[in-house]
Amino acid sequence: MTHAANPSPPMSSFELAGAIRAGDISAVEVTEATIARIDRSDGAVNAFTGKSYARARREAAAVDALRARGQDLPPLAGVPYAVKNLFDIEAEVTLAGSIINRSHAPAAQDAFLVARMKAAGAVLLGSLNMDEYAYGFTTENSHFGATHNPHDLSRIAGGSSGGSGAAVAAGQVGVTLGSDTNGSIRVPASLCGVWGLKPTFGRLSRRGSYPFVHSIDHLGPLADSAETLALVYDALQGPDPWDPGCHALSVQPVGDLSQGMAGLRVGILGGYFHEHATAPAREAVATAARALGASEWVEWPDAALGRAGAFIISAAEGGSLHLPDLRTRVDEFEPLSVDRFIAGALMPAQWYVQAQRFRRVYRDRVNALFKDWDVLLAPATPVAATPIGSEWIDINGNQHPTRPSLGLLTQPISFAGCPVVAAPLWPGGTQGLPIAVQIIAAPWREDLALCAGLALQNVGVAHLTAVEI
């Protein structure tokens, strides 16, 4: 079933934060309206696996109490959000999409990024559906049910942060947190038509999130506008001495995005990224390129090898992490991914070591591109959202298995650790479905990718399209 889209979306979370600060609406009113919207729509979407309504009401009341006392409100005061269910939420069990985790103890405290959101005044509404242990691109979770794409409920929402993408697309909340190892923020952002940010590897703390692949895992936000994405990214930043993988020694606020496009050098990724994209995905990139004044093609070095290296490291680390349960509880695993976990656990150590050695060389080659370019453009997914249960996708006459191939264009980028903004575009030939463009910048230059994203939004090329369910 396809739902009617409204090209004029409701107030973004960035605008909502301003309205709450101005006293035009209370945080409690916003929270109650959000709860009603989730309860009305989630039977169809299946984005939420847990609802934190009591906590949300407490957090909203605390925001209104601050305003009643005349105190300054933090930047996200009263803004509703939800998190992929691999983030720790105090006193709740962290499922990570698995029934195996139901036997785990509840989290003793919030994940670092959840604590950052709370400090910024945001209101937590609950936890979101995902592929089990983040190993997938479709969120067809056999335990908790598939998440449905709000633009066409017969189609996938992408993954593994599918609930995070669908919740924003359905207007349930304007902000969600997800994780991205091989594309798990950018794929659902693309298929659901929302904004997503995969930061630089090590930019944001991962403490208090259930891991998939420690060597490649990133955490980041999905949002309803470019301004919201930047606002949330600023709130999430901060050094964390307790996360050895977090290399952020200071906060780097993105500042005024509207001033950042002057003189920006924008290239278009060809070769691998052109060959593995269908006509609509190519059209999305061409539209973005015209809007940004880009015309030169750029070759990303060793993209296919980068994807292969990411596959090897993902399988090996993922299989190793779950080896005890694979030996004793294999029947409880997600049937769509259990074979990949087993294969990863059996992978020769030499392959893993070789992939890690190659990664160091690969990053140097990729980073050299940014001597000549500030941002690079590529499609986020080869195709638009596929029907739930699809086993194959057609890319220019070649058949590819759906579940791994939705990450064809994202894996080479995250393997290098570069920051990426997924900007939602709406090309022709997709039955009205979106495909995002990846805006890729050099490590630690999220600001440049966000500036380019805002520029696309300001000329009407990239935008969220509201869906009424």
Active site residues: 84, 160, 184
153 phi and psi, to 5 degrees?
Answer: -65, -10
Q: Which residues contact 328 (CB under 8 A, 6 or more apart)?
A: none
Residue type at 36 in one-letter notation: A
Tell me if 340 sits within 8 A of 257, measured CB to CB.
Answer: no
Task: Take residue 134 and report the two structure tokens written for it.
Answer: 């983040």
Nearest to 135 by CA among 156, 159, 155: 159
CA–CA distance, 289 with 296 (Å, rounded to integer): 9
**Using the 8-state DSSP alphabet, how is residue 378 labeled?**
E
How many Cα atoms are found within 13 Å in the side-chain-facing hemisphere of 431? 13
Nearest to 381 by CA among 343, 447, 436: 436
Task: Take residue 15 and report the two structure tokens written for it.
Answer: 């605008």
Q: Which residues pair with 441 in a beta bridge?
A: 375
CA–CA distance, 189 with 435 (Å, rounded to integer): 8
First-to-last C-alpha distance (Å) of the chain: 11
Is residue 127 packed enough to be buried (19+ CB in 10 Å), middle (13-18) or exposed (0-12)?
A: buried
- E strand or H helix that includes residue 154: strand 152-156
Tell me if 158 sits within 8 A of 136, measured CB to CB.
Answer: no
CA–CA distance, 222 with 206 (Å, rounded to integer): 16
393 phi and psi, to 5 degrees?
Answer: -120, 150
Tell me if 97 sits within 8 A of 141, measured CB to CB.
Answer: yes
Task: Take residue 370 and report the two structure tokens written for it.
Answer: 């940014």
Q: Which residues pair with 424 in a beta bridge?
A: 436
CA–CA distance, 44 with 56 (Å, rounded to integer): 22
CA–CA distance, 408 with 307 (Å, rounded to integer): 7
